[in-house]
Amino acid sequence: MTPLLRNTPHFAIAQGLMVSAVSLNVTCAALVGYSLADDKSLATLPLAVMFIATMLCSIPSSLLLEKIGRKKGFMLATLIGVSAGAVASYAIVIHEFWLFVVGVGLIGVFNSVGNYFRFAAADNVTEEYKSRAISYVMLGGVVAAFVGPNLASFAKDWVIDAQFAGSYAAIIGVYIIMLLILSGLSIDTKHLETTAEPSFQPARPLSIIIRQPKFIVAVICAMLSYGVMSLVMTATPLAMMHHNHTFANTAFVIQWHLLGMFIPSFFTGYLIRHFGLFTILTTGVIIGFACVAINLMGHGLNHYWLALVLLGVCWNFLFVGGTTLLTETYRPEERAKVQGLNDFIVFSTAALASLSAGYLQFTFGWKWVNLGIIPALIIVLISLIWMKARTRQSDLGNSVKT
């Protein structure tokens, strides 16, 4: 069995189920928050808490997976997901905003573990397969584009006088299926198999690792791509509600946004190998600017649809590219702390962006939500140009020496 087929399909399915739960949450959490909260500017707080929980638990989750093994850790985390669905649905039934925040926060705790699916897949294959393994795992999100928003819509009226309680109850089944899928992983020891040659060197301190240009740019790309995506995506349901779009239209836009996020994974790995990482990352930034331009043109369904598709593609190119670049910055014995630090930074940014979305939308409006992501895109572009210049300088130095 080839390395890509050993565990990658399990990780891809688990990723799809995880993102299904997240997409269901994204589709309706702000609307539930709006209905439950006395202060309507707190409507996006539940989503922000989800990202905050992911951020706070990222490093502990990485260390836990390294200690007890990724298979056991992943399966244990699904029980947290089951609890999340139960708490959130009950909170809606009793109309308790802060309990709903706790329930959504538990989804974030699970995500802090599930976000290592992509790293687990990459660490289990040889160097030539890494970008493909990451892309294939991210492809699981294509399923989520259909499952999450449609499940939210299908189940939202299951419980009388408690709209969306049924949607969160349905999440329980999603995590139970994930538990069964993860039980099929062929990981028998606490460390994933690695084809890398042992370095026989002590692990370097983080202070040295984080000074690598590749590490700096990888984190900037992953961090700001998630921040840009979270800010606009979280505010979208509220903006659409403000401009009198139906929930069906909102679910449709979020579904296509998710397709934009994950369908490119069919070919992102190939594009990276064929055109180079710099080109794909730069293309992601350009697509981000196009998203902003379209969102500023109007509030019709087509504006939201096309802009959110482009937002998804922007995120995919920058996040998959950044993750691929990150895997080139650490040795096998350094992966837990480097991956943990990366995800801590990424989801700190996502939490801040998600929390800011409600305030920006209600205080300044949709225009400023979109203008707010332009500085982030500029920073990513500058970092890429800097890395390219450093690479050329290094290559020139090496050629002079020879």
CA-based end-to-end distance of the chain: 42
Q: Please give the structure tokens belonging to residue 328.
A: 């080139």
Is 200 within the bounds of a domain?
no
Q: Could you tell me the CATH number of the domain that includes residue 350? A: 1.20.1250.20
Does residue 313 belong to any structural domain of this protein? Answer: yes
**Could you tell me if residue 196 is inside a domain?**
no
For 48, 50, 120, 151, 167, the CA distances from 162, given in Å and listed in that order, are: 22, 22, 39, 16, 10
Please state the domain count of the chain: 1
Residue 32 lies in a domain: yes
Range of the domain at 41: 3-187+205-401
Confidence bin at 194 (pLDDT 50/70/90): very low
Of the pLDDT bands very low, low, confident and very high (cuts 50, 70, 90), residue 269 is: confident
277: amino acid identity, one letter: L
- pTM, full prediction: 0.76
DSSP track, 277-322: HHHHHHHHHHHHHHHHHHHTT--SHHHHHHHHHHHHHHHHHHHHHH
Residue 370 above 60 pLDDT?
Answer: yes
CA distance 76 to 55: 19
Residue 244 lies in a domain: yes
- Residues contacting residue 16 through CB under 8 Å, at least 6 positions apart: 139, 140, 141, 142, 143, 144, 147
pLDDT in tens, 277-295: 999 999 999 999 999 999 9
Task: Assess whether pLDDT exceeds 70 at residue 117.
Answer: yes
* Alpha carbon distance 171, 180 (integer Å): 15
Chain centroid to Cα 306, Å, comes to 20
- Lowest-pLDDT range, 5-9, 124-128, 218-222, 227-231? 124-128
d(CA 243, CA 219): 36
Residue 402 has pLDDT above 60, yes or no: no
Q: What is the largest CA-CA distance in the chain?
A: 76
HSE-up of residue 261 (Cα within 13 Å, Cβ side):
29
Lowest mean pLDDT among 234-248, 278-292, 366-380: 234-248
Cα 325 to Cα 334: distance, rounded to the nearest angstrom: 15
67: tokens are 């200690």
CA separation for the pair 214, 237 (Å, rounded): 36
CA dist list (Å): 103 to 86, 238, 245: 8, 21, 27
User: Which DSSP string do the residues of 170-232 spell out, in sequence order?
Assistant: HHHHHHHHHHHHHTT----SSS----SPP--SPPPPHHHHTTSHHHHHHHHHHHHHHHHHHHH
The predicted-structure confidence for 148-170, as pLDDT tens digits, reads as follows: 888 988 998 899 888 999 999 99
Q: 200 pLDDT exceeds 70?
A: no
Let me know if residue 69 belongs to a domain: yes
d(CA 12, CA 316): 15
Confidence of residue 366 (pLDDT cuts 50, 70, 90): very high
Q: In this predicted structure, what is the pLDDT of residue 135?
A: 76
Question: Residue 198 domain-assigned?
Answer: no
Residue 28 Cα distances to 153, 224, 373, angstroms? 9, 24, 23
Does 227 reside within a domain? yes
Cα-based distances in Å from 57 to 12, 101, 325? 22, 16, 23
Buried b (16+ CB within 10 A) or exposed e, 352-382: bbbbbbbbbbbeeebeebbebbeebbeebbe
What are the helix (H) ranges across 364-373? 366-371
Contacts of 308 (CB under 8 A, 6+ apart): 232, 233, 236, 253, 254, 256, 257, 260, 291
- Give 45-85 pLDDT, tens digit per residue: 998 899 889 889 988 998 898 888 889 999 999 999 999 99
